[in-house]
Amino acid sequence: MTKTIVAPSILSLDYANVSEQLKQLNESKAEWLHFDVMDGHFVPNLTFGPDLLKGFKKCTDMVMDVHIMVEDPVFFTDVFLKAGADILTFHYEACKDEKEVRMICEEIHACHAKAGVSVKPGTPISVLDPLLDVIDVVLIMSVEPGFGGQSFMEDMLEKVRYIKKQIVEQNRSTLIEIDGGINADTAKLAKAAGVDVLVAGSYVFRNDIKAAVESLL
């Protein structure tokens, strides 16, 4: 069984208490930090720009897992790679066609970062089958993107099982990440289905950070 990675989403971080929360994150077993970028168009919410990412990079050695929920993935991929993203995940639905998805992944690789592609709940995961050769991380949304604190969509586990099978059959090392509604119970279901990376926002930051991260592993 492969090891699980926990990626706390800073969307739910308490910004009145940033340094204390970052200290706890640094002492926790979380290896990635999930950074949700929203442009107010692709999703009805607005979040962080590249300067915040640069600031976080100075305070932690965690892997910067940047998830861009934006209408213009080409522009923002470049912006967040320059700001220091280690993993850059963009949305399949925001791209013109398969060729553009491939082109963005190649651009990410050229900057020595990992390429992630995300699908919203309504998008069939099979669209990624012919692209697995350029995708390092498949990010399956288990809520509608835009907000933290929503309930886990259990039927998304079928997508996890499907893409896991494709990854094995194609002999790839692509990781499967799931995002939305993860807590200690849903984490168990996700891991059993084949998830490698668990994004968790409200569950981690509404509880004791270190204990919550540990309960997901």
Residues with catalytic function: 36, 179
* 175-179 and 87-91 strand pairing: unpaired
**Does residue 201 touch ligand DX5 according to CB under 6 A?**
yes
**Does residue 119 touch ligand DX5 according to CB under 6 A?**
no
Nearest to ligand DX5 of 101, 182 (CB atom): 182
SS3 content of the chain, % helix, strand, coil (to 5): 45, 20, 35
How many whole angstroms separate alpha carbon 118 and alpha carbon 140?
6
Of the residues 181, 191, 193, 215, which one makes contact with ligand DX5 according to CB under 6 A: 181
Q: State the DSSP code for 113.
A: -
- Footprint (CB under 6 A) of ligand DX5, residues 22-61: 34, 36
- Footprint (CB under 6 A) of ligand DX5, residues 147-166: 148-150
Residue nearest to Zn ion (CB): 67
How many whole angstroms separate alpha carbon 45 and alpha carbon 19?
24
- Of 3, 25, 19, the residue nearest 205 (C-alpha): 25
Of the residues 65, 136, 179, 196, which one makes contact with Zn ion according to CB under 5 A: 179
Is 194 known to sit in a ligand binding site? no
Residues whose CB is less than 8 angstroms from the CB of residue 105 and which lie 6 or more positions away in sequence, other chains included: 115, 117, 131, 134, 135
- Residue 100's H or E segment, with its range, is helix 98-110
Site map (CB under 5 A) of Zn ion, residues 33-62, x = contact: ---x--------------------------
Is 109 known to sit in a ligand binding site? no
Is 41 known to sit in a ligand binding site? no
How many whole angstroms separate alpha carbon 11 and alpha carbon 19?
15
- Numbered residues of the known binding site for substrate: 9, 67, 146-149, 179-181, 201-202
Q: What residues line the site for Zn ion (CB under 5 A)?
A: 36, 67, 179
**In the complex, which residues of this chain contact ligand DX5 (CB under 6 A)?**
9, 11-12, 34, 36, 67, 143, 145-146, 148-150, 179-182, 199-203
